[in-house]
Structure 1
Amino acid sequence: MSGSIPSEVGNLTRLSLLNLNSNNLTGPIPASVGNLFALTKLQLFNNQLSGVIPNEIGNLGQLYNLEMDGNLLSGPLPASIGNLTNIVILFLPANQISGHLPPQIGDLPNLAELILSRNNLTGTIPSSIGNLTQLELMYINENNFSGSIPPEIGQLTSLLELGLSENLITGHIPKQVANLSQLIHLNLSNNTIDGIIPDEIGQLTSLQHLLLNNNQLTGHIPHRVVNLTQLTKMQLVNNQINGLIPDQLGNGLVNLRDLRLTSNLFTGTIPSNLGNMTNLEILYIAFNQLSGSIPPELGKLFSLTSLSLHSNQLSGSIPNELGNLLNLNDLILSTNRLSGLVPPSIGNLTSLEDLELYQNQLSGHLPEMANLTNFYLLQLSENNFSSPLPPDLCKGGRLMYFSTINNHFDGPIPRSLRNCSTLVRLQLKNNELSGDVSEAFGVYPDLELIDLSNNRLSGELSVNWVESQSLNTLHMAGNMISGRIPPQFGRMVQLASLDLSSNLLVGELPKELFGLSLLLDLNLSNNQLSGSIPLEIGGLLNLNTLDLSKNKLIGHIPLQIGNCPNLRSLRLSANELSGSIPLEIGKLLRMQEMLDLSHNSLTGIIPRDISKLVMLENLNLSHNRLSGSIPSSFSGMSSLLALDVSYNNLEGPLPESRFFQKAKVEWFEHNNGLCGKVLNLPPCSQNTTKHSSKKHRKIVLLSVLVPVLLLLLLISLGVVIFIFRHTRRKNVKENDREEPDKNLLSVLGFDGKALYDEIVAATENFDDNYCIGVGGYGRVYKVQLRTDQLVAVKKLHGPEEDERGFRSEIEALAKIRHRSIVRLHGFCSHARCMFLIYDYIEKGNLSTILSSEETAIELDWKKRLDIIKDVANALSYMHHDCSPPIVHRDISSKNILLDSELKAHVSDFGIARSVKPDSSNWSGRAGTLGYMPPELSYTMKITKKHDVYSFGVLILEVIQGRHPGELISHLMSGGAARDVLLKDVLDQRIRVPLTLEEANGVILAAKLGLQCISVSPRFRPSMQRVSQLLDAGKIEACEKMPFRDVNLQQLMGV
């Protein structure tokens, strides 16, 4: 049924029941409904009714049931509601009702159920609420109520369930709550309630659920809480509760199933009496300051499915008794001080899926794990484990994440890993593993990263790696791998990082390797590779670092090296290279970290073109046969930190600049003809200069004649160019003369001045016709360069106050290398404008695509889930793989770009910042409204959890097809969340998930999205954890039910 409710309905004066629920009704509720004086039930829920609730509703004196939830009703709750003296059920959740809760609500003596959740109600809870002595259910959660909880609440002696979560309530928990002797459910989570938990709460002997998460509670857990013998769920997560965990908990709360004390300030030891809670299924005590050992009595919690004690100061050994927890799915003991062996009994935990023991001091052998067939995540890094790895690690065929970094494991790679096709990330570096790797690994369709570096592995490189089509990182450095690099590696099209350094590899460099267009880092150093550097090296357009040092390479440095515009670091030292340094080196304008050509047999002069590398910090040309002088243009290399030209045949004066005046003398040793003002170098005299000039007369003559000939040509061309451009550039030049010290032109990877002119010309001085987007920090233009390359140029609104700091930040951000992150080529800082240069991504931003029905329906559930995974992986890389970590600060759908294949790329790093250990990361501008976490308004401190919150909003936006907006507060924990089905909040423009894989993916994404938008930063997962869970696709047991029945309360775990 659709349409509006006709006003003629008011003519049915003898009507006693009006049920129009679950239709498609729109428009307002007609005022004539107030004429239905005989009406006892009015049920209009699950429609799209809008407008205000008519004041005439107060005329329905016989009404005892009013249900209008799930509509679009707005405006205040009319005061005439107080006339409904026979009302028993008042059910109005999930609307947009605003204003204060009228005090007349207290005039309803028969009211038993008051449900106003998920509205926009404000003001304080009226004290007249205490008059509702028949009230059994009261849910006013997920509104904007403020002020304190009125003490009159204690007069509701019939109350069974009280939900006040997700409001702005302050003050203390009133002691009068102790009068609610029949109370079963108490949820005050997600407010700013402070003070202590009153001791009187122990009088609520019928209480089953005590939920006080995400507040500012202090003090201790009151001892009288042990009187709550019916309690099944107690959650005190993310408060400031301190002191000891009471010993008596285990004696009194024997029915408890869910105990969560994470993110508080608890000290002391874990009470052994907790072992008496034999019904306990979830025990979370992570992120506290607990010390001492893990009590063996926890091994009596036979119903336990999840145990998390990580991020404390626990010591001692892991008790053998934990092996009795046969229902355990998750055992997380990481980041403590645990020592000793992992007990053999851990091998009995056949239901275990997630075992995290990293960052402890555990040692010795791992137990037999043949029975642990449900593993998907095993993290053992940063311990002192030794002995071989368990042979049956992947017996169940589910292992996805396995990490043993920084241990002492020895022996061969376990055979079970060969057929473990589910692997996504395998990190075994920095151990003592040995054996032949030639046939140790199989084919892994989902493998993204494998790191075997710094072990004792031997054998040859297998061509099987080519079949792992998702592989983007292959590291086997620091082993004893021999043989040749298979040319088939050139078919690993997704490869971004290849590190085979410090092995025993021989043979020539396969030219096929240099066709990997996505390759960012290539390190083949310290091997026995021979032959010449292939000319195909010019095909590595995205390459950032290249290290071929310490090999036996011969021949010339190929001119094609200049076709690698993104190179930041080039190391070719300790080879047998000959010939001159190619002029094309000067094209590598993004070269910054290192240019090392030392310990070769290079001859000729040092090209002046090297001085174009204005970003270069370290240059080493030592131990060659170079002659001539150090070009005077080197004085303009303002970024240089070190320049070593020792052990050559150089002569003449050092360039005059501050760098050379303070340079180390050893950088210039064993060059007989050098002179200058550096310690121990002879001073330059006129004779020295004449001697140098005479010896190199031909070079001088050429240096004079060539410019003269060119000058004649340029003069004739210059006249034409001058006439053509004089008028157009007159004003620009005048401005430049006025502010000569402000003209910093530094575009990474390009000739800055030329590119500035080209961009201004290509956009007709940033004309709106070329504008493809406007954000809070600038306008974005689509620019086609003369090379036909398309780039996106973001012109910032205003100058950066700290230009030098801004430049260093951009340089750091430009080092980001990830397939799901838009490449930032660099920036241009000019007296009149500042802009950033990115790759151009074809499809535009996600916000625009979702806002159009035509394009949104292209994004089916698989594509949407892939977008979420891509962004999660990108943020995980920024937070956990970059050093220092980088916070984006402005994750939003407008900053997620989609390419032609609808793959996601994170963009817009104009306001991103590196996270330095000694930085407060304060910022007055950080993000987009609707994506910023709540704590930013009062801390002004940017952390990685800022991005996590924004990512949570993004997940919900992708699922819903629109920005969650005000609904974001409705997606937190609370009693009424059980009435909201996940299927009802999905984007209705595309079909519901049909396959089990799609349904599970949507459920998991929604669950993680809700966790990411937790009010407390400490309660949000890390992006690394989110990325791992999305890749794993793990669905908790509570969600293994028909998709149509999954509700938000289940996903929030409340």
Structure 2
Amino acid sequence: MLAGSRQIDTSGDPCEPVPWFWVTCTGDGGYFTHISEINLGNQGLDGSFTNDLSFSSYNVFDLSNNSLHGAVPSFLGNIATFKLDLSSNNFSGPIPIFIVDPTLPESEVPSGSQIQFLNLSSNSMSGNLTDISGNFPYLKALNLSGNHFSGPVPLFYGNTTPEVIDLSSNCLSGGISELLMMINFRIKTSPGPRQSLKTLRLGDNNLSGTVPDEIWSSELQLETVDLYSNNFTAVDLTTWFQSLVAGGFSGKQKVNLLNNPIERVIIRDDIVNLKSGLESKTDVEMWNILSNSEGYIVFGGNKWCNSSDLSRARILKNYLCRPSENDDYYSVPPKGPDNTSIIIGGAVSGSVFLVIASILLIFLGRMWRRVKDLRQLQAELEKEDVRPPFYKYEELRAATKNFSDENELGRGGFGAVYKAELTDRSILAVKLLFPTEQSMTDFLKETVVITGIKHRHLIQLKGCCVRDKKRMLVYEFAENGNLVQALWGNERSFILTWAQRLKICIGVAKGLSYLHEELQPRIIHRDIKPHNILLDKDWNAKIADFGLARTMQGDEWTQATTIGGTMGYVSPEYSTEGLITEKLDVYSYGILVLEIVSGRKCLDPSASAEEFYLRNWAFKLHRESCLSSMAEKTLIESVPAQEIESLLKIALLCVQETHEKRPSMSEVVIMLTGNSSLATDIMNELCEQQQVSYDGLFETSTTNEVNGTEEKEKYVLLALTSFSHTNSRAE
């Protein structure tokens, strides 16, 4: 069935007397007669499908959360008649033809055409989706998210109209008008009731153009539409605006358009009257209409929100431009006709009245300061094209159990980090910053910069919060903590494998390469260390804590007036001269790699004098031709010495004394990921440019110039050959 897969017990009858743990059997008369479900999810399976797979059909065929790879074969269409789940594996190649070919002859239509749930999400599949076959009249949910599919959004032919379509986090392009028009036409021309699309998730793609007015059609019956993080530049709100003028929106559509460069809101037909109708509503009237709507739309943080369009409909524009659906768009509660007056009777004594008045004045003073702070925040953010979402302080306080010690994940030089579980069960990390003299304007500017930085190997900022003098940053949550816990934590229940360590090294290198060379303006982190390397559930490394980060506007170097960073990781030119270049981070990265491989800290007071500083000890072992001996014991026993030495020697390149002699992080990435041709060129150039450094790196008391040259050539070969066949373990 699965080539290379770990063994699952298949001895005896699968159903009698007791079914295997991974099957469900059904039958009549108290006896099991056949297998109805196969559930092998999360069983550590690897390998690929073989062509000799021969199964009857099952109600459920679940192989999710494993490490299966290769192409998804078309014969799987004959297996599941209710649910086929291959999510969270490493499948690659195009989508199976039985899913996308609308011209498939009836004789070749799979027996699984009655399938209701098809999940191929979180794999590495690619190619154009083109169009979805009409061979699935009972399909309720199609999930192809988290792959690398490209091309236009597919159309759904024949009788196939799922209730849920999830194509998020791919590389789809074009618009969505054709898909919505096709589904709407099918509903209108259908002779009887039929299943309709309720959830459409297309976020995190490259879609563009105009978000069509069809989304608001009552006939379409959409309920959830996720279009966040695309490239839409306009949205047609004609139908939605018409319903507001008429007294309220009755639809259930929840539309998320956050992180799109929207420049224009379209109002078709009677544009003057419709706009004037919207702007004629009082704040209270508009607030009542919007607050009573079951659906919503949000698309904050774009050019239109900073324009003067609809500026006279203040509440409506605040509503549309919120950073999330939970944000308040009317900071002062409306004063409606049902409000009652509080009458203080003459029986209240003067002293009691004064006490109440004093308390009231204090309360109003605090409220006024908070309103003033909020207005300052809003004024500052109005100047920015990208706005970080704001979280309510009360929400974060409840989510962190009042910032309790129980929820504290750790603390560093800039603040304490807490685990926060929100009411929707999502988990985030909240950094409560220590008080500083930094102005609100500078804080917001830094937050805006970090919000715009998105990369797989950089921790993502989700938003921020300000209450009085408290400032909080809200980040994505890293399930496996930080690298300190993984390497040396007291509660460490296992030891990182070689593949995991290599994966972490590659991830950090890619993140730094992005900061140094792809981002504009460039960013130098200045404090790369294990505390600032977070690990998600799949052991992907994510660089965190940009508190010391320095942006570079094209200058090759600059000087710091105060020295930050952490002892042991700081480069010589930074600690002695305050010199800041990208090579500062390269040095810290080299120290980090030495720690990851050795399992030892860069400064170890308990070690002998020669082993106290990890960098110096590594150079000593290299001169003695036993560099791999510094690796953690479990690695020495299970990993070829050549592979260990290759990674350690790249680390030694990074920690050379002179910053000009160190490679760039993009060169490190190339050396790590095994592009042998380009890597050879880089290494040869390094050899030519770094004679002094290489002589220092490889010299011994007895080697002459010839032997040194031979040793360098040997090193180049070692550093390039090992990674070409080991990177598949890490990526």
TM-score range, shorter chain: 0.5 to 0.7
Superposed displacement of residue 751, structure 1: 7.3
How far apart, in 2, do the equivalents of 1:954 and 1:749 lie? 34
How far apart, in 2, do the equivalents of 1:861 and 1:929 lie? 27
Q: Secondary structure at the match of 1:531?
A: helix
CA, structure 1 residues 981+510, in 2 after alignment: closer, same or farther (shift >3 Å)?
farther
CA, structure 1 residues 568+526, in 2 after alignment: closer, same or farther (shift >3 Å)?
closer
2:657 paired with 1:981 = no
Following superposition of structure 1 onto structure 2, how do residues 29-178 of structure 1 map, counting pairs within 5 Å?
Answer: none
**Equivalent residue number for residue 617 of structure 1:** 303
How far apart, in 2, do the equivalents of 1:873 and 1:958 lie? 16
CA, structure 1 residues 737+616, in 2 after alignment: closer, same or farther (shift >3 Å)?
same
Q: Contact 2:257–2:297 at 8 Å: present in 1 too?
A: no
Following superposition of structure 1 onto structure 2, how do residues 580-729 of structure 1 map, counting pairs within 5 Å?
Answer: 580=241, 591=259, 593-594=261-262, 596-598=264-266, 615-619=301-305, 630-633=312-315, 708=336, 711=339
**Equivalent residue number for residue 952 of structure 1:** 590
Q: Secondary structure at the match of 1:825?
A: strand
How far apart, in 2, do the equivalents of 1:559 and 1:911 lie? 50
2:523 paired with 1:855 = no
How far apart, in 2, do the equivalents of 1:865 and 1:563 lie? 39
Q: Secondary structure at the match of 1:708?
A: coil
2:433 paired with 1:805 = no
Letter in 1 for 2:228: L
2:674 paired with 1:1032 = yes
Q: Secondary structure at the match of 1:1015?
A: coil
CA, structure 1 residues 1031+733, in 2 after alignment: closer, same or farther (shift >3 Å)?
farther
Unpaired stretches in structure 1, ≥5 consecutive residues: 1-420, 423-443, 449-458, 461-465, 641-703, 716-725, 1039-1047
Q: Secondary structure at the match of 1:842?
A: coil
Superposed displacement of residue 834, structure 1: 1.0
2:616 paired with 1:970 = yes
Q: Contact 1:1001–1:1033 at 8 Å: present in 2 too?
A: no
How far apart, in 1, do the equivalents of 2:301 and 2:464 lie? 13
Q: Please, which of 789, 793, 798 is the counterpart of residue 426 of structure 2?
A: 789
How far apart, in 2, do the equivalents of 1:819 and 1:782 lie? 21
Superposed displacement of residue 736, structure 1: 5.4
Superposed displacement of residue 742, structure 1: 4.1
Deviations 1:75-125 (A, max 9, x none): xxxxxxxxxxxxxxxxxxxxxxxxxxxxxxxxxxxxxxxxxxxxxxxxxxx
Q: Secondary structure at the match of 1:817?
A: coil
Superposed displacement of residue 1011, structure 1: 1.5
**Equivalent residue number for residue 547 of structure 1:** 207
Following superposition of structure 1 onto structure 2, how do residues 372-387 of structure 1 map, counting pairs within 5 Å?
Answer: none
Q: Contact 1:446–1:468 at 8 Å: present in 2 too?
A: no
Q: Please, which of 637, 649, 663 is the counterpart of residue 1021 of structure 1?
A: 663
CA, structure 1 residues 602+884, in 2 after alignment: closer, same or farther (shift >3 Å)?
farther
Q: Please, which of 171, 182, 189 is the counterpart of residue 531 of structure 1?
A: 182
How far apart, in 2, do the equivalents of 1:713 and 1:492 lie? 57
2:606 paired with 1:961 = no
How far apart, in 1, do the equivalents of 2:221 and 2:581 lie? 45
Deviations 1:380-433 (A, max 9, x none): xxxxxxxxxxxxxxxxxxxxxxxxxxxxxxxxxxxxxxxxx99xxxxxxxxxxx
Deviations 1:965-999 (A, max 9, x none): 2524415767x7321512321112x2425355xx5
Q: Please, which of 653, 660, 663 is the counterpart of residue 1011 of structure 1?
A: 653
Letter in 2 for 1:775: G
Superposed displacement of residue 829, structure 1: 3.2
CA, structure 1 residues 1023+546, in 2 after alignment: closer, same or farther (shift >3 Å)?
same
Superposed displacement of residue 1026, structure 1: 2.0
How far apart, in 1, do the equivalents of 2:270 and 2:637 lie? 64
2:257 paired with 1:567 = no
CA, structure 1 residues 1033+491, in 2 after alignment: closer, same or farther (shift >3 Å)?
farther
How far apart, in 2, do the equivalents of 1:849 and 1:729 lie? 52
**Equivalent residue number for residue 364 of structure 1:** none
Q: Contact 1:500–1:523 at 8 Å: present in 2 too?
A: yes
CA, structure 1 residues 713+770, in 2 after alignment: closer, same or farther (shift >3 Å)?
farther
How far apart, in 1, do the equivalents of 2:256 and 2:121 lie? 33
Q: Contact 1:895–1:906 at 8 Å: present in 2 too?
A: yes
Letter in 1 for 2:624: D
Q: Secondary structure at the match of 2:419?
A: strand
CA, structure 1 residues 765+727, in 2 after alignment: closer, same or farther (shift >3 Å)?
farther
Q: Contact 1:777–1:796 at 8 Å: present in 2 too?
A: yes
**Equivalent residue number for residue 573 of structure 2:** 935
CA, structure 1 residues 920+771, in 2 after alignment: closer, same or farther (shift >3 Å)?
same
How far apart, in 2, do the equivalents of 1:445 and 1:612 lie? 34
CA, structure 1 residues 854+511, in 2 after alignment: closer, same or farther (shift >3 Å)?
same
How far apart, in 1, do the equivalents of 2:445 and 2:557 lie? 17
How far apart, in 1, do the equivalents of 2:632 and 2:213 lie? 58
How far apart, in 2, do the equivalents of 1:551 and 1:740 lie? 35
Superposed displacement of residue 572, structure 1: 6.3
Letter in 2 for 1:567: Y
Following superposition of structure 1 onto structure 2, how do residues 190-269 of structure 1 map, counting pairs within 5 Å?
Answer: none
How far apart, in 1, do the equivalents of 2:163 and 2:525 lie? 36
Q: Secondary structure at the match of 1:935?
A: helix
Q: Secondary structure at the match of 1:813?
A: helix
Q: Contact 1:532–1:556 at 8 Å: present in 2 too?
A: no
Superposed displacement of residue 893, structure 1: 0.8
**Equivalent residue number for residue 703 of structure 2:** none
CA, structure 1 residues 470+872, in 2 after alignment: closer, same or farther (shift >3 Å)?
farther
Superposed displacement of residue 847, structure 1: 0.5
How far apart, in 1, do the equivalents of 2:514 and 2:469 lie? 35
How far apart, in 2, do the equivalents of 1:611 and 1:563 lie? 9
**Equivalent residue number for residue 4 of structure 1:** none
Letter in 1 for 2:207: D
Q: Secondary structure at the match of 2:504?
A: helix
Q: Secondary structure at the match of 1:786?
A: coil
Superposed displacement of residue 528, structure 1: 6.0
Deviations 1:930-971 (A, max 9, x none): 222222235545443332222211111110112222524415
How far apart, in 2, do the equivalents of 1:577 and 1:906 lie? 44
How far apart, in 1, do the equivalents of 2:221 and 2:574 lie? 52
**Equivalent residue number for residue 766 of structure 1:** 403
Superposed displacement of residue 727, structure 1: 13
How far apart, in 2, do the equivalents of 1:468 and 1:1028 lie? 29
Superposed displacement of residue 578, structure 1: 4.8
Letter in 1 for 2:668: V
Letter in 2 for 1:928: T
Superposed displacement of residue 759, structure 1: 1.8
How far apart, in 2, do the equivalents of 1:575 and 1:636 lie? 18
- Aligned-pair identity in percent equals 23
Letter in 1 for 2:565: G
CA, structure 1 residues 886+599, in 2 after alignment: closer, same or farther (shift >3 Å)?
farther
Question: Relative contact order (C-alpha < 8 Å, sep 6+): which is higher?
Answer: 2
How far apart, in 2, do the equivalents of 1:868 and 1:617 lie? 39
2:636 paired with 1:992 = yes
**Equivalent residue number for residue 846 of structure 1:** 483
2:463 paired with 1:826 = yes
How far apart, in 2, do the equivalents of 1:856 and 1:843 lie? 12
Unpaired stretches in structure 2, ≥5 consecutive residues: 1-68, 71-88, 94-100, 103-118, 185-195, 279-285, 291-295, 323-332, 344-356, 604-611, 684-696, 699-710, 717-731
How far apart, in 2, do the equivalents of 1:836 and 1:751 lie? 10
2:194 paired with 1:556 = no
**Equivalent residue number for residue 16 of structure 2:** none
Q: Contact 1:572–1:596 at 8 Å: present in 2 too?
A: yes
**Equivalent residue number for residue 22 of structure 1:** none
